[in-house]
Amino acid sequence: MAGLRARQKADRNRRILEAASSLFREVGYDSARIEDIAERAEVSVGTFYNYYENKGDILVATVSMEVEEVLEAGKSIVENPPASVGEALEVLINQYYDHSLVYLTKEMWRTAMAISIQQPKSPFSRRYTDLDNRLCDQIAALMQKLQLRGVIMTGIDAVAVGQMVFNNLNMMFTEFVKDEPATLEALKDNVARQNRPLATLISAPR
């Protein structure tokens, strides 16, 4: 039976999440009032706070769904990466970037990032940070894979390199969402340029 209470809970949770993410897209994060979200979800304001600790939490929940998808898509690239270091990085990173604005606006990203920095203890911020770590691990895994294949010189700390590449792409993405007119194309070009020296240097001679 799954229990009436459990079903109602799951349903309310879904309604609240849907109401919030659609409102955020429609009117922006700041203009979306809890009262409006609650009304659209057909619950009271108090109930909203029973499901989410605060307004920021529900935005981070929305963003998390998006990152989860990107991670999934990244898996297959890591399993079967292009032959060269430069290309492999470019394909994986551009995949991240290209998905980033499908469901979320720059404003939503900015707010989610701000929250995850400011309240690092809240459960949803932890989840967001965890996703970041998994992205970082994915880049590191790609580097290790390439090293195993002999494309990257042995003796290099592939994990350290992967972390650096990730931190760089993450900072660049932060700057990108802070700059409303900045384009995805420019972002991808800049990051590719930054990765080039490193990619060349760590590649094994053939």
Partner DNA sequence: GAAAAAGATTGAATGAGTTCAATTTTTAAG
Partner DNA sequence: CTTAAAAATTGAACTCATTCAATCTTTTTC
Q: Which residues bind its own copies (CB under 8 A)?
A: 110-111, 113-118, 120, 129, 156-157, 160-161, 163-165, 167-168, 170-172, 174, 177-179, 193-198, 201-202
Q: Rounded to whole angstroms, how far apart are CA atoms 59 and 204?
A: 44
168 binds, among its own copies, DNA, none (CB under 5 to 8 A by kind): its own copies
CB-wise, 44 or 200, nearer to DNA? 44
**H-state helical runs in the chain:** 4-27, 34-41, 45-51, 55-79, 85-99, 106-118, 123-148, 158-178, 184-202
CB-wise, 38 or 169, nearer to its own copies? 169
Q: CA angle at residue 83 from 185 to 196, to 5 degrees?
A: 45
- In the chain the first and final C-alpha atoms are separated, in Å, by 63
CB of 91 to its own copies, least distance (A): 19
Footprint of DNA on this chain (CB under 7 A)?
3-6, 8-9, 12, 30, 32-35, 43-47, 49-51, 53-56
CB-wise, 38 or 158, nearer to its own copies? 158
Q: Rounded to whole angstroms, how far apart are CA atoms 22 and 110?
A: 17
44 binds, among DNA, its own copies, none (CB under 5 to 8 A by kind): DNA
CB of 21 to DNA, least distance (A): 15
CB-wise, 79 or 157, nearer to its own copies? 157
> Which has the closest alpha carbon to 199: 89, 96, 91?
89
> Which has the closest alpha carbon to 35: 15, 20, 50, 25?
20
CB-wise, 26 or 175, nearer to its own copies? 175
CB of 124 to its own copies, least distance (A): 14
Only one residue has tokens 């590449």, namely: 165
